[in-house]
Each structure stands twice: as C-alpha cells, then as structure tokens.
C-alpha cells in the first residue's frame, strides 16, 4: 500500500465518535470552508447577481487563474504620472485581473498606454543600438550629425518631429553628469 493511498484527499480531517444503528463508530469528515466575501471590490460579474442566486466557486490547486478569469474582475485606480517631464498629473489605470500574473509589472505595463509606449520606445532604442553597432555607414552618418550641433537643432525644429515633443529627454544639468 503506497503512502498516497493512506493520505486522505483532504489534508485536514475532522474525526468524531457517534452512535450509528446502535454501534459506536468513528466518522471522518473532510474539512471544508466557505468564504463569503467580495474580494473583487465590486468589479466581478457575480456582483450583478442576487446573493441567493450566485453559484459557489471551488478553488482547486492550480485553478485560481481559471477562477479569476471566470469572475471577470478588474480594478481601477489613479497613480501619479511620473512619465511626463513636469511630473504633474495622474494616470488612470484599469487593470483586468484575469490571472495571478496580472499583478506582474510586465503585465501591468501592457494595460497602461503611456507605459506601454515607453516600453516600446525602449525596445526600439535597444534594437537601434544593436543596428548601429552592426552598420558602419549608419554609425558614420550619426557621428557626422552629432558633430554638427546646428544640424541637430534644425532637425529638432523641423516639421518631421511635430507631435513628438513629449518624447524628448528633459534638459539636464551639465554639472550633474
């Protein structure tokens, strides 16, 4: 007999003695617990159903992601906007909670358009850096452009960069570098 056969399916088992048909017997009851709570802060689709008509949900090992997705939960909040140069304002965030990984920063960024754009910009810059390292003619052109500050200023003032003012790096203090 293996140890798995001897273990009860429920790790916590209540045992009590009772009399059944005139015989004293021990009865084992698996421990079950019902939690009645609104853990979705009112965003679950179950919230729209009357309490007595709601169905019970079973939380099984490894099944929490399925449960969260089925409940259709989301959370809305505001955070200070640290992405703008001024640092003013707030970002409205609506985060769908479909699985436990919804709380991971990489997943969080995918639901905030400003942060997603910054992450994409970072990816593009890293790809461009790798491309610059591999292409000598592009490296040479950028070096020539960087050597002539008046050309850089002309490019910044041109119509080609209209609408991208927010993506520029803030002017830093030369002494702090």
Per-position pLDDT tens, the chain of length 177:
566 666 656 667 778 888 888 888 888 888 777 777 777 777 788 888 887 888 878 877 788 888 888 888 888 889 888 877 777 888 888 889 889 899 899 888 898 888 888 889 889 888 888 877 778 887 788 788 888 888 888 877 887 777 666 666 655 554 443
C-alpha–C-alpha distance, residues 164 and 121, integer Å? 12
Q: At 127, phi and psi to the nearest 5?
A: -65, -40
Listed residue (118, 65, 69, 66) closest to 91, CA to CA: 118
Residue 3: predicted pLDDT: 63
d(CA 139, CA 81): 35
18 three-state secondary structure: strand
| pLDDT score, position 174 | 46
Q: What is the pLDDT of residue 49?
A: 82
pLDDT at position 117 is 87
pLDDT at 17: 87
Both tokens of residue 29?
């009851």
Distance, in Å, from the CA atom of 153 to the CA atom of 147, rounded to the nearest integer, reads 12
Residue 8: what pLDDT?
57
- Determine phi and psi for 35, rounding to 5 degrees: -105, 120
How far apart are the C-alpha atoms of 14 and 78, rounded to whole Å?
46
Nearest C-alpha neighbor of 35 from the set 61, 50, 14, 56: 56
Position 129 scores a pLDDT of 81
Give the pLDDT confidence score for residue 177 in this predicted structure: 39
Q: Tokens 């050309």 appear where? A: 151
The pLDDT value recorded for residue 29 is 82
pTM for this predicted structure: 0.54
How many other C-beta atoms lie within 10 A of the C-beta of residue 97? Answer: 19
Residue 73 · residue 43 · CB < 8 Å: yes
pLDDT of residue 84: 75
pLDDT at 176: 44
- Confidence (pLDDT) at 86: 73
Q: Between β-strands 73-80 and 23-30, what pairing exists: parallel, antiparallel or unpaired?
A: unpaired
3-class state of residue 55 by DSSP: coil
Give the DSSP H or E segment for 91.
Answer: strand 90-97
């Amino acid at each position: 007999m293996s140890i798995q056969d001897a273990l009860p399916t429920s790790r916590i088992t209540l045992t009590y003695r009772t009399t059944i048909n005139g015989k004293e017997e021990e009865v084992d009851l698996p421990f079950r617990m019902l939690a009645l709570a609104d853990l979705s802060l009112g965003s679950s689709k179950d919230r729209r159903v009357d309490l007595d008509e709601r169905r019970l949900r079973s939380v099984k090992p490894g099944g929490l992601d399925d449960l969260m997705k089925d409940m259709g939960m989301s959370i809305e909040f505001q955070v200070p906007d640290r992405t703008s140069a001024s640092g003013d304002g707030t970002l409205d965030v609506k985060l769908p909670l479909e699985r436990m990984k919804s709380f991971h920063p990489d997943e969080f960024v995918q639901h905030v358009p400003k942060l997603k754009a910054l992450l994409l910009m970072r990816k593009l810059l890293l790809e461009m850096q790798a491309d610059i390292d591999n292409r000598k003619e592009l490296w040479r052109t950028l070096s020539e452009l960087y050597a002539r500050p008046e050309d850089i200023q002309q490019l910044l003032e041109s119509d080609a960069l209209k609408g991208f003012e927010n993506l520029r790096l803030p002017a830093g203090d030369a002494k702090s570098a």
